[in-house]
Amino acid sequence: MDKKLVNLGYNDKYFEEASFYEGLFPGRVVSQYKDLYRIATGKIEVTAEVAGKLRYTTTTSADFPAVGDFVVIDREDNRSGNAIIHHILPRKSVFERKTPGTGRGVQIIAANIDTVFICMALNSDYNLRRLERYLSIAWASGALPVVVLTKADLCEDIEIRLAEVSAVAAGADILVTTSLTEEGYQPIRTYIATGKTVAFIGSSGVGKSTLINRLIGEDLIVTKTTREDGKGRHTTTRRELFVLPSGGAVIDTPGMRELGVESADLAKTFADIERLAGSCRFSDCAHSGEPHCAVRKAVEEGELTEKRLASYKKLKKEARYEGLKAKQIEREKINEMFSGVGGMKNARDFIKNKNKRP
């Protein structure tokens, strides 16, 4: 087994799958620019494009290669033109989000990752509601989420922040880091090994690229200082995979201003609320004033914050509407408005009267 491919993340499973395609060579997508891809093989990196047949059979943007994908190509050099990507091997995990803007497509951030480092700086970037959103998507990706609190040197109340993060990140490891010293980023190394792939996710300016440069041992990724208001500067413009000298691969991603929910695991991110909901009188309790609601009781007694409950409801609603057309979303909202006794009849009457309006 080629050691370079192993360090790229290839294992027996992928080699077996690639062997079904005679005359083709295994590789991994390390970067993308528009319709062209850089593919790392056991020898060199080559520029590649998607085969016409593969392009014809794709139905969504998520069907195209993404950074981290294992693929098979027709050549191992560019001496006679770009290599051709004929097949994408099955993904074991995928971190994806809803396409930014008004579109309803899916954008793949990284594929075939073992660990997702969710980076949040301990300065003005600190936002627990955004962290809950990242965690919900990360748990659904199939990879292991790890919360990385960066810029610890800028925080005067680390213990308080750590307690707050621990309350919303149950089940995920939490690391406190700083890139100022050698010891400041060492905790991350314990998750990286030959054959493993990690991805760094987070807002602009939280220090993702700086941490990756430290792991690589040189400044391959351009970084900038934060602005005077403490907000990050956008430096990474595209996703890119790097092979570390010590073994393993790491994927850097651009800061994401929008993180629309395409698929989410709320049961793990909000395990506390899900547990409480099991004690509500009604199985379809909306936690908005129904009698004997265990969730509302927890809020009233200070066991659960109103903000966390609001975040849970927002993400749950967003995930429910994802993939629906405008009329379907409207119908879902109406049904929710009239949930309870006589709800279906009231909802039908509302829709009927609404359609009669000029």
Q: Please name each of the domains of the chain with its CATH number.
A: 3-88 (2.40.50.140), 94-252 (3.40.50.300), 270-323 (1.10.40.50), 327-358 (no CATH)
For residue 227, name the pLDDT band (cuts at 50, 70, 90).
Answer: very low
Q: Which residues of 6-19 are buried (b: 16+ CB within 10 A; e: fewer)?
A: bbbbbeeebbeebe
326: amino acid identity, one letter: A
- Please give the model's pTM, rounded to 2 decimal places: 0.78
Whether the per-residue pLDDT at 51 is higher than 60: the answer is yes
User: Rounded to 5 degrees, what are φ and ψ at 125?
Assistant: -75, -15
Comparison of pLDDT for 14 and 260, the residue scoring more: 14
The β-bridge partners of 249 are 197, 243
Query: Is the Cβ–Cβ distance between 130 and 90 less than 8 Å?
Result: no
Strands 94-98 and 106-111: antiparallel
CA angle 221, 227, 233 (to 5 degrees): 35
Whether the per-residue pLDDT at 319 is higher than 80: the answer is no
Q: Give the pLDDT confidence of 168-220 residue by residue, as tens digits.
A: 998 999 999 876 666 777 889 899 999 999 999 888 788 888 888 888 877 66
* pLDDT score, position 333: 44
* pLDDT score, position 332: 46
Q: Give the pLDDT confidence of 326-351 residue by residue, as tens digits.
A: 343 344 444 545 554 455 555 455 44
Whether the per-residue pLDDT at 262 is higher than 70: the answer is no
Cβ-based neighbour number of residue 60 at 10 Å: 9
141: amino acid identity, one letter: S
Q: How is residue 107 written in tokens?
A: 């954008």
> Residue range 95-124: average pLDDT?
82
> Residue range 151-162: average pLDDT?
88
Q: Which residues of 219-252 are buried (b: 16+ CB within 10 A; e: fewer)?
A: eebebeebeeeeebeebbeebbbbbbeeebbbbb
Nearest-CA neighbor of 85 among 71, 67, 64? 71
User: Rounded to 5 degrees, what are φ and ψ at 37?
Assistant: -130, 150
Whether the per-residue pLDDT at 233 is higher than 80: the answer is no
- Name the burial class of residue 329, with classes exposed (0-12), middle (13-18) and buried (19+) by CB atoms within 10 angstroms of its CB: middle
* pLDDT score, position 59: 83
Whether the per-residue pLDDT at 283 is higher than 80: the answer is yes
Q: Average pLDDT, whole number, for the chain?
A: 81
CA atoms lying within 13 Å on the CB side of residue 308 = 21
Cβ-based neighbour number of residue 284 at 10 Å: 9
Give the integer Cα–Cα distance in Å for 269 and 168.
Answer: 7
> Which range among 43-47, 70-74, 126-130, 331-335 shows the weakest confidence by mean pLDDT?
331-335
Q: What's the CA dihedral at 311, 316, 319, 322 to 10 degrees? A: -100
> Residue range 1-23: average pLDDT?
87
Comparison of pLDDT for 267 and 298, the residue scoring more: 298
For residue 299, name the pLDDT band (cuts at 50, 70, 90).
Answer: very high
For residue 273, name the pLDDT band (cuts at 50, 70, 90).
Answer: very high
Which helix (H) or strand (E) element contains residue 166? helix 158-168
* pLDDT score, position 152: 85
User: Above pLDDT 70, what percent of the chain?
Assistant: 78
* pLDDT score, position 44: 87
> Residue range 94-101: average pLDDT?
75
- Could you tell me the sign of the dihedral formed by the alpha carbons of 18, 24, 27, 33, in that order? negative
Nearest-Å Rg of the Cα atoms of the chain is: 23
Query: Is the Cβ–Cβ distance between 32 and 38 less than 8 Å?
Result: yes
